[in-house]
Amino acid sequence: MSVLHRPMTVEDFYEIPEDDSLRFELQAGILVSEPRPGFRHGRVAATIGSLLHAYVREQRLGTVLVGNPGFVLARNPDTLRGPDVAFVSRERLPSIEDEARAFEGPPDLAVEVLSPSNTAAAVHAKIADYLAAGARLVWVVDPDPQRETVTVYRSLLSPRVLSRDDNLDGEDVVPGFRIAVAELLEL
């Protein structure tokens, strides 16, 4: 791969050879990477994705995506993020032009499941990118046995931290979806 002397675009991003040991995203035209997450991360993301998918499908609210699907959150310079789980409302689905590439725009709900390799600054940047692009709700799930929390963001300034004893609510983004935080974290 040749060295770019300009910010990377989403189109450039899709030309990068796959690397099974890293996950890549694009932040303001700069390629960022992090190690693949571990087993606990995968189980929690799968639980959230499957519970959310079953509910959204039954209610015909839209679609749920897992496995770090790409969302173009900004252009010039380009930002492309891949949440662990995402929800896109039915009303926004017709705007998909190329399902093989990233969705142009934010998810309605972005879910990030933390891994030991995540830094606070990197997670904060992801949340800020989702919200600035128009995501209506962001859940940050911390499955670490010492914490076991879900932090709910509608804005960067007023997050709500839920513990195992609380219930997570889809609010007006996924209306009627409600589940115990403990159930999301059961391993």
Strand partners, 85: 66, 111
What is the pLDDT confidence band of residue 79, given thresholds at 50, 70 and 90?
very high
Can you tell me the distance from the alpha carbon of 107 to that of 5, in angstroms, rounded to the nearest whole number?
A: 30
Q: Where are the domains of the chain?
A: 37-185
Average pLDDT over residues 164-173: 96
Fold of the domain spanning 37-185: tt1808, chain A (3.90.1570)
Instruction: Indicate whether 66 pLDDT > 70.
Output: yes
Please name which of 125, 132, 135 lies closest in space to residue 88, comparing C-alpha atoms.
135
| 89-118 average pLDDT score | 86
pLDDT of residue 76: 94
b/e map 2-26, b = 16+ CB within 10 Å: eeeeeebbbebbeeeeeeeeebbbb
Average pLDDT over residues 72-97: 89
